[in-house]
Amino acid sequence: MEAIQNEVVAFHHVSKIYNTGTVALSQFHFSITEGEFISFLGPSGCGKSTALRMVAGLGEATEGKVEVFGQNPKEVIKNTNDVAFVFQDANLLPWRTVLENVMLPLELRGSDKKSRKEDAIKVLEMVGLKDHIKSYPRQLSGGMRMRVSIARALAAKPKLLLMDEPFAALDEITRQTLQTELLEIWKREKMTILFVTHNVFEAVYLSTRIAVLSARPGRLSSIIDVDLPYPRERTDERFTEYVDISSQSLENSSTRRELV
């Protein structure tokens, strides 16, 4: 079957059962098109991260299939720089400087030293860390370490950026600052972002669409089109309305455990 035009990610009736017997996802069917900012919103343990990891080629569906750019995710990861992953923890190498950490994926891809240094400095400037290229992770705040992690992901110029609750461990002020910076990068780089969160305010602030997952086993409970212009004001009345809609959808999805 020919891929839908501009389709970036497709979950085709995906189920995931772990060896322990845990059913993480059940008949999850959803697609993402080029340039979207999609948030997976759902209660803890509903399979959000499982779905994201399958897109990154870090796990396989028990039933159904996942496609990225119309291909098997593992093939895309193996042969291109089109997909990058930002985890909840920054996962920086403590013995490497900020610049060296950001250069790492470019080194692994075999880029020459001059070009990978130039590319790394460019993305560090993009995230506001150009003056910290010689620092080590231990010398940085949590927010700054997450900026390095984002810069490392952006260094290879991905078309699809996967983010698994990257701001969850940060204080609220830092979190909101990085949310705004992420949106600026998304608009400037014209990439597609798939973002996992359980925070309704974050989902509404960032997303073009919100996919709400039910309690385990994770199913697509509802889709919310966030029809708000960017930049969004958290105190705006319509923003609050979308937060209420998302909160109600999340509450409804959480009670589905009793129906499964």
pLDDT of residue 257: 45
Q: How confident is the model at residue 5 (pLDDT cuts 50, 70, 90)?
A: low
What is the rounded distance in angstroms from the CA atom of residue 5 to the CA atom of residue 34? 9
Span of 13-17, 70-74, 166-170, 256-260 with lowest mean pLDDT: 256-260
Q: Give how far the C-alpha of residue 136 lies from the chain's centroid of Cα atoms, to the nearest Å.
A: 25
Rg value, the chain, Cα: 18
Q: Are 251 and 226 in contact (CB under 8 A)?
A: no
Which pLDDT tens digit goes with each residue over 193-220?
A: 999 999 999 999 999 999 999 988 889 9
Q: Does residue 150 contact residue 182 with C-beta atoms inside 8 Å?
A: yes
Tokens at 63, concatenated: 């039933």
Instruction: Kindly state the tokens that stand for 20.
Output: 């322990």
Does domain 7-82+160-259 fall under CATH 3.40.50.720? My reply is: no
* Bridge partners of residue 41, in order along the sequence: 197, 212
Res. 113 pLDDT band, cuts 50 70 90: confident
| The 3-state secondary structure of 102-128, one letter per residue | HHHHHHHCCCCHHHHHHHHHHHHHHCC
In DSSP terms, 225 is beta-bridged to: 209
E-strand ranges in 178-257 read: 192-197, 209-213, 220-225
Give the model confidence (pLDDT) of 221-250 as tens digits: 999 999 999 999 999 999 999 999 999 998
Q: Where do the domains of the chain lie?
A: 7-82+160-259, 95-157
Confidence of residue 258 (pLDDT cuts 50, 70, 90): very low
DSSP string covering 38-105: EEEE--TTSSHHHHHHHHTTSS--SEEEEEETTB-HHHHHHH-S-EEEE-SS----TTS-HHHHHHHH
Whether residue 125 contacts residue 184, with contact meaning beta carbons closer than 8 Å, is answered with no
The conformation of residue 155, written as its DSSP 8-state character, comes to: T
Residue 43, beta-bridge partner list: none
Q: Nearest to residue 81, comparing CAs of 189, 7, 163, 156? A: 156
Instruction: Report d(CA 218, CA 233) in Å as an integer.
Output: 31
